């Protein structure tokens, strides 16, 4: 299958690398369709967007009309020869009334129905990125139900439908999990050897791979942040603290919560107890940590992280999204 080109950072373009198991899963979806919409959760910048874009290109090669929409950034790719579809997506993405994200997200469902009904397409795929950010976490379950309705109650008979939605909004996992409308799967940062392929494609002087691995935990976006900060780890951490308002959050905690947070810097699983769930929810809402699914293959897109990796901040039930997130909290606690 053709590997698409992606921009890791301004002026740094490269082909999609690794994720072989994830791409094999796309082929499986193409062969059988998705009985339930697949809803993918994972850390910010772990590669969900790149995977969806690569997946959409693959599905086109496998005979699908495939629509990819990134609601948060008003971006779309229409792998179809139906020109009316492209025009309507362009009109929605260029909406100036402040509701473009919502319109683009909802239009995607209508377009899939029309491809099946009006245009008589037999194999249709829809891949939606950050839809829940556009419509609100409280409506995430309903959106997944609308995708399921296309599969279960199509306007016209079809051969196969593939429906996938991806999000970094950790709290929407519980909203969707309350119903049996979607198949929840998790995606993590890149495994070591796959991440090495990404690292090797960056030319010029750079720190040793092991250092970069320990700084990023295999997160492509964290790699891009380091590159843009000329590999200055301290600058990257400081920028993260300021942009996320980490110091404000730390100072807003009670003394007891700060003590719990200090423990979580060393072991995130210490948050996974009843009395600390409120703090865990705050950190999930801020996209600082993630609740981690069991390491059963059918629950994961690509490879799951190890059961525990204290050096990278990965616990059995809870993990820091990247070492960068953990270090930002560590410094904010020290300065507070």
CA atoms within 13 A on the CB side of 77: 18
Instruction: Examine the pLDDT at 126 and tell me if it is beyond 80.
Output: yes
pLDDT, the chain, mean: 93
Q: Are 63 and 31 in contact (CB under 8 A)?
A: no
Average pLDDT for 298-305: 96
Residues in Cβ contact with 32 at an 8 Å cutoff, skipping those fewer than 6 apart: 160
pLDDT at 267: 98
| CA 140 to chain CA mean position, Å | 15
pLDDT of residue 102: 85
Helix 83-93 and helix 100-116, axial crossing angle in degrees, nearest 10? 170
Count of other CB atoms within 10 angstroms of residue 152: 12
Give yes or no for residue 172 having a pLDDT over 80.
no
Among the ranges 54-58, 93-97, 131-135, 142-146, which has the highest mean pLDDT value? 54-58
Q: What is the spatial distance between Cα 221 and Cα 215, in angstroms, rounded to a whole number? A: 12
pLDDT at 97: 62
Secondary structure of 107-130 in HEC code, one letter for each residue:
HHHHHHHHHHCCCCCCEEEEEEEC
For 124, list phi and psi in degrees, rounded to 5: -130, 140
How remote is the C-alpha of 15 from its chain's centroid? 19
What is the fold of 5-187? Rossmann fold (3.40.50)
pLDDT given for residue 96 in this prediction: 65
Mapping DSSP to helix (H, G, I), strand (E, B) and coil, where does residue 313 land?
coil
User: pLDDT per residue over 260-283, tens digit each?
Assistant: 999 999 999 999 999 999 999 999
The pLDDT of residue 38: 97
- pLDDT score recorded for residue 211: 97
pTM: 0.94
Task: Please tell me the predicted confidence (pLDDT) of residue 259.
Answer: 97
The residues, any chain, with a CB within 8 Å of residue 208's CB and separated by 6 or more, are: none
Q: Specify the 3-state DSSP secondary structure of 324.
A: helix
Half-sphere exposure of 251 (CA within 13 A, CB side): 8
> Any idea where the domains of the chain sit in the sequence?
5-187, 192-293+307-335
Residue, of 241 and 173, whose pLDDT is higher: 241
- Specify the DSSP class assigned to residue 178: T
Taking the C-alpha atoms of residue 69 and residue 165, their distance in angstroms, rounded to an integer, is 10
- pLDDT tens column, 188-240: 999 999 999 999 989 899 999 999 999 999 999 999 999 999 999 999 999 99
Mean pLDDT of 121-132: 93
Q: Of residues 175 and 249, which shows the higher confidence score?
A: 249
């Amino acid at each position: 299958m053709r590997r698409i080109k992606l921009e890791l950072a301004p002026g740094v373009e490269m082909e999609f690398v690794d994720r072989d198991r994830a791409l094999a899963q796309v082929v499986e979806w193409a062969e059988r369709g998705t009985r339930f919409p697949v809803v993918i959760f994972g850390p910010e910048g772990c590669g969900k967007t790149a995977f969806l874009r690569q997946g959409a290109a693959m599905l086109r090669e496998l005979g699908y009309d495939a629509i990819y929409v990134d609601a948060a950034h008003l971006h779309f790719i229409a792998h179809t020869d139906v020109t009316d579809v492209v025009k309507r997506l362009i009109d929605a993405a260029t909406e100036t009334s402040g509701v473009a994200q919502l319109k683009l997200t909802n239009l995607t469902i209508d377009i899939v129905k029309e491809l099946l009904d009006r245009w008589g397409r037999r194999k249709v795929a829809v891949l939606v990125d950050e839809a829940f950010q556009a419509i609100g976490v409280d409506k995430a379950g309903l959106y997944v139900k609308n995708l399921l309705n296309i599969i279960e109650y199509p306007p016209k008979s079809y051969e196969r439908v593939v429906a996938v939605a991806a999000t970094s909004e950790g709290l929407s996992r519980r909203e969707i999990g309350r119903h049996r409308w979607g198949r929840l799967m998790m995606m993590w940062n890149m495994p070591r050897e796959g991440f090495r392929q990404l690292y090797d494609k960056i030319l010029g002087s750079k720190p040793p791979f092991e250092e970069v691995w320990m700084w990023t935990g295999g997160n492509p976006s964290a790699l891009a942040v380091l590159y843009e900060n000329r590999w200055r780890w301290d600058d990257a951490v400081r920028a993260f603290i300021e942009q996320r308002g980490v110091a404000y959050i730390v100072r807003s905690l009670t003394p007891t919560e700060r003590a719990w947070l200090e423990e979580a810097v060393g072991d995130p699983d210490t948050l996974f107890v009843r009395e600390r769930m409120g703090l865990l929810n705050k950190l999930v809402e801020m996209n600082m940590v993630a609740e981690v699914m069991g390491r059963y293959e059918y629950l994961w897109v690509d490879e799951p992280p190890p059961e525990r990796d204290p050096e990278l901040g990965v616990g059995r039930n809870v993990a820091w999204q990247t070492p960068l997130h953990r270090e930002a909290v560590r410094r904010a606690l020290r300065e507070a």
